Amino acid sequence: MRIAIASDHAAIDLKAELREWLIEQGHEVADLGPDTTDSVDYPDFGYKLASVVADGTAERGVALCGSGIGISISVNRNPAVRCALVSEPLSASLAREHNDANCIAMGARLTGSDMAKACLEAFLTTDFAGGRHQRRVDKLSNPET
């Protein structure tokens, strides 16, 4: 799977660990930055991540910041992207199954690397259930539906 990953300065270490883990799992990973712990603005990286998921360059996205909250808000500004803030595997699985989430966000200050990997595993291996959920997902991108 083609996966894009982006963070802010607070999540550099978790991003690097998850990037390597995803590659070991056989995924193609695009690291959208940043590359240092110098202070950056998380919306810049959230918007970049949303753009590559929305245009199909990446099939899924992983957004990381200190809490996961700010970057998830910025990713969700793109109507073609559904980014769920998760902290454990059940949330990650339900985000895919019920909401057809194409991105997840996690907080590096709140989620350890083992839990983050478990969340990613659930997110990447769960299919969208469709059915009654499709109508609701359609409304997420088009409120007039």
Which positions are annotated as active-site residues? 65, 98
Is 27 a known ligand-binding residue? no
**Rounded to the nearest 5°, which phi and psi values hold at 23?**
-65, -45
- 72 in a known ligand binding site: no
130 is in an annotated binding site: no
Does 9 show up as a binding residue in the annotation?
yes
Residue 113 labelled as part of a binding site = no
Annotated binding residue 60 = no
Q: Is 69 exposed, middle or buried (0-12, 13-18, 19+ CB in 10 A)?
A: middle
135 labeled part of a ligand binding site = no
- Burial code (b: 16+ CB inside 10 Å, e: under 16) for 72-108 equals bbbbbebeebbbbbbbebebbbbbbbbbbbbbbbbbb
Contacting residues for 63 by C-beta, under 8 A, at least 6 apart:
5, 6, 7, 45, 46, 49, 71, 72, 74, 75, 83, 103, 104, 105, 106
67 is in an annotated binding site: yes
**Residue 132 in marked binding region:** yes
Greatest alpha-carbon span in the chain? 45
Binding-site positions for D-ribulose 5-phosphate read 8-9, 66-70, 99, 109, 132, 136
Binding-site positions read 8-9, 66-70, 99, 109, 132, 136
